[in-house]
């Protein structure tokens, strides 16, 4: 299927950098996604009055797609990042917690693939909230590896940047390694679905509040890949979840870096927050990427 060319202008926000000139949007499944009976790419909720800058919220996504934003050819370094936006599983925020990160990542030569994964409508009662989005994320990673030559990417340098509910998906994805959550359907699924690195930004509800342990599905091992984690002390989705992720990685001798900021709340994406230095997380993440040879 041919990609759809979409002209966009990213919001001119302090510290985000120049807007990306264009992006394409492609479906990740050749037909219906696993377990689906309809093919709806999602609907935008009405913009909230007084929200400045505005935030896009998509609901009823049954046909997941990925926004593709490639850095300039002379800047590209072969690294790719799949962005998993937040939205509490009932919606996906493709701008604030998605493609707005592209200019920052492009500055380091990193290609961006921002996923509009399936939302929770019609999900079976006993199915984890993260399962269908996990399938979508694994399929996206496989699609990137299958097209690494076309996009001038290194198939061993594909990571994730995951926000909020996307951070929960990202933590499960990073822990799953190459254990796919769906049956293969074509040649794309012959490719590995693991992440080579992960940036988990305020991962949402990764801790079981009753037992104060990580939720089922998040369990790292000695062969897990490196991770960078950010949270705030005043986030109602407790930073203890991020601490538990870090501790599990530490116990398994996996390289990891954890930053807990005193304030900043939740849902900031790459935007600044008044009276907080939380927007400096991008500088810390940039240092981490460069030290690992993933950015320049």
User: Model confidence over 61-75: pLDDT tens digits?
Assistant: 999 999 999 999 899
Cβ proximity of 47 and 81 under 8 Å:
no
Residue 150 in any domain: the answer is: yes
The mean pLDDT value for 84-91 works out to 97
Cβ proximity of 115 and 193 under 8 Å:
no
Beta carbons within 10 angstroms of residue 197's beta carbon: 21
The mean pLDDT value for 129-152 works out to 97
Beta carbons within 10 angstroms of residue 237's beta carbon: 24
> And the tokens for 255?
């390289």
Collect all residues with Cβ–Cβ distance below 8 Å to 236 and sequence separation of at least 6.
266
Give dist(CA 12, CA 225) in Å, integer: 34
Nearest of 119, 31, 21 to residue 68 by alpha carbon:
21
State how many domains the chain has: 1
In the predicted model, is pLDDT for residue 16 greater than 50?
Answer: no
| Residue 21 confidence (pLDDT) | 45
> And the tokens for 48?
């909230």
Residue 281 in any domain: the answer is: yes
Cβ proximity of 57 and 98 under 8 Å:
no
In the predicted model, is pLDDT for residue 15 greater than 80?
Answer: no
pTM (predicted TM-score): 0.93
Name the strand (E) or helix (H) holding 182. Answer: none
In the predicted model, is pLDDT for residue 4 greater than 50?
Answer: no
Name the percent of the chain lying above pLDDT 70: 93
| Residue 122 confidence (pLDDT) | 78
> And the tokens for 225?
């890949």
DSSP assignment string, 1-70: -PPEEE-------TTT-SPPS-EEEEESSSSSPTT-S-----EEPPPPTT-SS----EE---S-EEEEEP
Residue 29 in any domain: the answer is: yes
Q: Which residue has the higher pLDDT, 8 or 284?
A: 284
Residue 20 in any domain: the answer is: yes
Dihedral, CA atoms, 167, 93, 119, 141, nearest 10 degrees? -60
In the predicted model, is pLDDT for residue 2 greater than 90?
Answer: no
The mean pLDDT value for 262-288 works out to 97
Residue 182 in any domain: the answer is: yes
Residue 296 in any domain: the answer is: no
Confidence grade of residue 3 (pLDDT, cut at 50, 70, 90)? very low
Mean pLDDT of the chain: 92
**Which residue range forms the structural domain that includes residue 9?**
4-291
| Residue 22 confidence (pLDDT) | 78
Give dist(CA 186, CA 184) in Å, integer: 6
pLDDT in tens, 204-255: 999 998 999 999 999 999 999 999 999 999 999 999 999 999 999 999 999 9
| Residue 20 confidence (pLDDT) | 44
Name the strand (E) or helix (H) holding 125. Answer: none
Nearest of 172, 223, 228, 181 to residue 200 by alpha carbon:
228
Diameter of the chain by CA atoms?
A: 51
Q: What is the CATH number of the domain that holds 212?
A: 3.40.50.1820
In the predicted model, is pLDDT for residue 110 greater than 80?
Answer: yes
Cβ proximity of 287 and 258 under 8 Å:
no
Residue 51 in any domain: the answer is: yes
Give dist(CA 230, CA 287) in Å, integer: 14
Cβ proximity of 155 and 148 under 8 Å:
yes
Residue 109 in any domain: the answer is: yes
In the predicted model, is pLDDT for residue 113 greater than 90?
Answer: yes
Collect all residues with Cβ–Cβ distance below 8 Å to 285 and sequence separation of at least 6.
199, 228, 230
> And the tokens for 146?
């299958």
Confidence grade of residue 52 (pLDDT, cut at 50, 70, 90)? confident
């Amino acid at each position: 299927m041919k990609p759809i060319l979409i002209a966009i202008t990213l919001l001119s926000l302090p510290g985000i950098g120049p807007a990306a000139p264009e992006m394409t949007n492609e479906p990740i499944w050749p037909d219906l996604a696993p377990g689906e009976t309809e093919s709806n790419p999602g609907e935008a909720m009405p913009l909230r009055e007084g929200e400045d800058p505005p935030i896009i919220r998509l609901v009823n996504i049954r046909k997941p797609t990925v926004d593709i934003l490639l850095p300039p050819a002379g800047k590209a370094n072969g690294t790719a990042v799949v962005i998993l936006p937040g939205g509490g599983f009932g919606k996906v925020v493709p701008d604030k917690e998605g493609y707005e990160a592209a200019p920052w990542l492009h500055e380091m030569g990193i290609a961006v693939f921002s996923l509009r994964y399936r939302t929770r409508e019609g999900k079976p009662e006993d199915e984890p909230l993260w399962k269908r989005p996990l399938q979508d994320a694994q399929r996206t990673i496989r699609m990137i590896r299958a097209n690494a030559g076309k996009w001038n990417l290194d198939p061993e340098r594909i990571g994730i940047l995951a926000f909020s509910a996307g951070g929960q998906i990202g933590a499960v994805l990073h822990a799953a390694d190459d254990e796919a959550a769906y049956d293969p359907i074509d040649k794309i699924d012959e490719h590995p679905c693991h992440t080579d690195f992960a940036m988990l930004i305020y991962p949402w509800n990764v801790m079981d509040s009753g037992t104060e342990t990580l939720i089922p599905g998040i369990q790292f091992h000695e062969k897990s890949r490196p991770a960078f984690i950010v949270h705030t002390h005043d986030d109602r989705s407790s930073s203890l979840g991020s601490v538990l992720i870090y501790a599990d990685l530490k116990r398994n001798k996996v390289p990891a870096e954890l930053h807990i900021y005193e304030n900043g709340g939740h849902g900031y994406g790459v935007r600044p927050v008044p009276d907080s230095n939380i927007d400096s997380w991008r500088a810390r993440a940039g240092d981490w990427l460069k030290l690992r040879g993933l950015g320049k």
